[in-house]
Amino acid sequence: MKVLKFGGSTISSAENILRVKEIIESQSDQIIIVISAFSGITDQLIELSNKAAKRDDDFFRIFNDIENKHLEIVDNLFREPLKSEIRSHISMLQKELGSVINGVYLLNDMTPKILDKILSFGEILSTFIMSKIVPNGEQVDVRVLIKTNDDYGNAKVNFDLTNRLIRACFRNYRKTGIVPGFIATSETNEPTTLGRGGSDYTASIIAAALEVKRMEIWTNVDGFMTADPKKVNKAIAIDTLSYAEAMELSHFGAKVIYTPTIHPVYQKNIEIAIKNTFNPEAPGTIITKHGTGEGKSLIKGISSIDDITLITLQGAGMVGVKGISSRLFGVLAQNNINIILITQASSEYSITFAINPEDFGKALKAIEGQFETEIKTRKEINIQVEKDLSVIAIVGEKMKNTPGISAILFSSLGRNGISVIATAQGSSELNISIVIRKESLKKALNVIHEGFFLSHYKDLHLYLVGTGTIGGKLLSQIRDQQETLMREHHLKVNVIGICNAYGMLLDPDGINLSRYEEDLEKYGEKTDIDLFIQKMQFLNLRNSVYIDCTADAGIADTYGKVLSSYVSVVTANKIACSSAYNLYRDLKKTAQEKNVKFTFETNVGAGLPIISTLNDLIRSGDKIIKLEAVLSGTLNFIFNNISEEIPLSRAVKLAMECGFSEPDPRIDLSGIDVKRKLLILAREAGYEFEESDIRIIPFLPEECFMGSLEDFWKQIEKHDAEFEARREQLAGDHKKLRYIARLEQGKATIELVDVDIHHPAYPLEGSNNIILITTERYNEQPMVIRGYGAGADVTAAGVFADIIRVANV
Q: Which residues are catalytic?
A: 677
Distance CA 66, CA 532 (A): 47
Sign of the alpha-carbon torsion through 488, 490, 491, 496: positive
SS3 157: strand
For 487, counting Cβ atoms within 10 Å of its Cβ (0-12 exposed, 13-18 middle, 19+ buried), the class is exposed
- Quick one: which H or E segment has residue 242? strand 240-242
Distance CA 25, CA 683 (A): 75
Distance CA 262, CA 256 (A): 12
Distance CA 594, CA 389 (A): 22
Distance CA 498, CA 518 (A): 12
SS3 53: helix
Distance CA 793, CA 785 (A): 19
Asked if residues 188 and 264 have their Cβ atoms less than 8 Å apart, the reply is: no
SS3 494: strand
Of residues 218, 18, 278, the one with CA closest to residue 129: 18
Asked if residues 503 and 521 have their Cβ atoms less than 8 Å apart, the reply is: yes
Of residues 371, 379, 33, the one with CA closest to residue 176: 33
Distance CA 142, CA 570 (A): 64
Asked if residues 362 and 337 have their Cβ atoms less than 8 Å apart, the reply is: yes
Asked if residues 562 and 573 have their Cβ atoms less than 8 Å apart, the reply is: no
- The backbone torsions φ and ψ at residue 770, rounded to the nearest 5 degrees and listed phi first, read -150, 145
Distance CA 627, CA 747 (A): 11
In Å, what is the CA distance from 704 to each residue of 649, 656, 665? 12, 17, 11
Half-sphere exposure at residue 582, Cβ-oriented, CA atoms within 13 angstroms:
0
Distance CA 441, CA 307 (A): 10
768-775 and 624-630 beta bridge pairing: antiparallel
Rg of the chain, C-alpha, whole Å: 36
Count of other CB atoms within 10 angstroms of residue 607: 23
285-288 and 271-276 beta bridge pairing: antiparallel
Of residues 599, 677, 601, the one with CA closest to residue 634: 677
Instruction: Tell me which DSSP letter residue 602 carries.
Output: G
SS3 224: coil
DSSP string across 671-713: THHHHHHHHHHHHHTT----GGGEEEE-SS-GGGGSS-HHHHH
For 740, counting Cβ atoms within 10 Å of its Cβ (0-12 exposed, 13-18 middle, 19+ buried), the class is buried
> What is the C-alpha end-to-end distance of the chain, expressed in Å?
53
- The backbone torsions φ and ψ at residue 663, rounded to the nearest 5 degrees and listed phi first, read -55, -35
In Å, what is the CA distance from 182 to each residue of 82, 341, 489, 707, 712? 28, 27, 48, 86, 87
382-395 and 341-344 beta bridge pairing: unpaired
SS3 547: strand
